[in-house]
Amino acid sequence: MSALKDLKIHVVDDDPDVLLVVRALLEDYKAKVKTSTSSKKALDEIIEDRPDLVILDLMMPEMDGLDLTRLLRKEADLENLKIVIFSGKSYEQDQQRAFSFGADGYLTKPLITDEFIAKLQDIVEEKIEVTYWGVRGTLPVPGESSLRYGGNTMCTSIQFPKDNLFILDAGSGIKQLSDHLMSLRMDSLHAKIFISHPHWDHINALPFFVPLYIPGNEFEVFGASHGSVTMRELISAQMDGVYFPIRIKEFAARTYFRDLREEEFRINDILVKTMLLSHPGTCLGYRLEYKNRSVCYITDNELFPEGTRDYNPNYWSKLTAFIRGTDMLITDATYTDEEYLKKSKWGHSAVSQVAKLAHDAEVKELHLIHHDPDQTDDDIDAKLKTAQDLLTEWNSKTSCVAPRERQRFKIT
């Protein structure tokens, strides 16, 4: 069912031809549409009618779309109103200004029917889209035994509303993400890259992320420093000429680095929280919150079973509190319980402990990632069944999946 059905939509544009086309298209999707060529007149009508969504041209003679957005955002009765700018101006500066004035989306003319409707529906639903580009740990494993889940190491993208793209880790999977982004032929790309830790399976394909070499793009790379070694130095070291032929100075995109510790901060409307994890070296877990929804990314992380010498109840409590109630927990489930007996203190968890953590924290959906390179697709299936059976035994409300490369999930 279309998210636009029965929505009250007001379209404001000084071009009557645009209004005719947009109105006909939206009414095809069963929306209730009102149009205006006068932005000043539209202001009073919108305040009185209280529609669900307004679509505003940017360049209008009486009052431009930014001023109209600013005035609408002052109205307390319109706090749930979605505002979309629909303009022939594709400049980055105009898009960023629109968001700063309170717009929920920015679409560019000419109107491409399917793209226009799809983006409008995403804006209305404010979906968070999670896509997996690599789910393996330690090293890539191509071959017949990894065809279903894929053989690339860690990389996950999260698309938040208002064009906020977050990229979690830069293992070999980031090359697939790179190919996907390049196929979109975007004029400019802005994204935040969060590194859990600088072990090679989490950073070794960052030099193959083509958007870093394109002028006009902008990236900020976040992660923990290691002692006196900054995140910039950590990334640069693997491109120093000995290990890779291209130096970091070849990045043509505007690229910034930020060292993190346990803290919380905001990126636009998204709250970012970090936590130090149980893993050799400095490793960070992330909790990303947007309008009462959240995603937690916890890898690499070792959960010592209760009753063992290394079990730390304080750490278990702290981590449980950190992920509590999250919509999606993406977490290290490297080993079967049998494998873990031989690999304790390697910095990774057994699947039963991961299931227990998710259940204790009342997680809505558990995603198992960072699979051991010796595990086949069938082995991952078996781990998934173990987790699902345990959650069923505990009458847990937590559901569990093992995502595949290129698989997408939406949080609404």
Task: Measure the CA angle with vertex 38, ends 35 and 44; round to 5°.
Answer: 80
| CATH architecture, domain defined by 8-125 | 3-Layer(aba) Sandwich (3.40)
Q: 29 phi and psi, to 5 degrees?
A: -100, 20
- Residue 1: pLDDT band (50, 70, 90) is low
Strand pairing category for 32-36 and 8-12: parallel
Q: 223 phi and psi, to 5 degrees?
A: 170, 170
Topology agreement, domain 8-125 and domain 128-411:
no
State yes or no: pLDDT of 362 exceeds 70. yes
Q: 100 phi and psi, to 5 degrees?
A: -70, -25
Give dist(CA 262, CA 157) in Å, integer: 22
Look at residue 412 in the predicted model and tell me its pLDDT.
83
Token pair 């190919």 is at which residue?
179
Look at residue 73 in the predicted model and tell me its pLDDT.
96
Give dist(CA 197, CA 297) in Å, integer: 12
User: Domain-by-domain residue ranges, the chain?
Assistant: 8-125, 128-411
Report DSSP state, residue 115. Answer: H
Give dist(CA 375, CA 136) in Å, integer: 9
Q: What is the mean pLDDT of residues 371-397?
A: 98
Cβ atoms of 168 and 135 closer than 8 Å: no
Amino acid residing at 122: D
Quote the percentage of the chain above a pLDDT of 70.
100
How do residues 143-197 score in pLDDT, each as one tens digit?
Answer: 999 999 999 999 999 999 988 999 999 999 999 999 999 998 887 899 999 999 9
User: What length is written for the chain?
Assistant: 412
Q: Which two tokens stand for residue 289?
A: 């919150």
- Residue 93: pLDDT band (50, 70, 90) is confident
Cβ atoms of 53 and 8 closer than 8 Å: yes
pTM above 0.85, yes or no: yes
| Topology adopted by domain 128-411 | Metallo-beta-lactamase; Chain A (3.60.15)
How do residues 225-268 score in pLDDT, each as one tens digit?
Answer: 988 899 999 999 999 888 889 999 999 999 999 999 999 999 98
Q: What is the mean pLDDT of residues 29-41?
A: 96
State yes or no: pLDDT of 392 exceeds 60. yes
State yes or no: pLDDT of 126 exceeds 60. yes
Cβ atoms of 169 and 195 closer than 8 Å: yes
Strand pairing category for 32-36 and 190-194: unpaired
- Residue 2: pLDDT band (50, 70, 90) is confident
Average pLDDT, the chain: 95
Look at residue 8 in the predicted model and tell me its pLDDT.
97
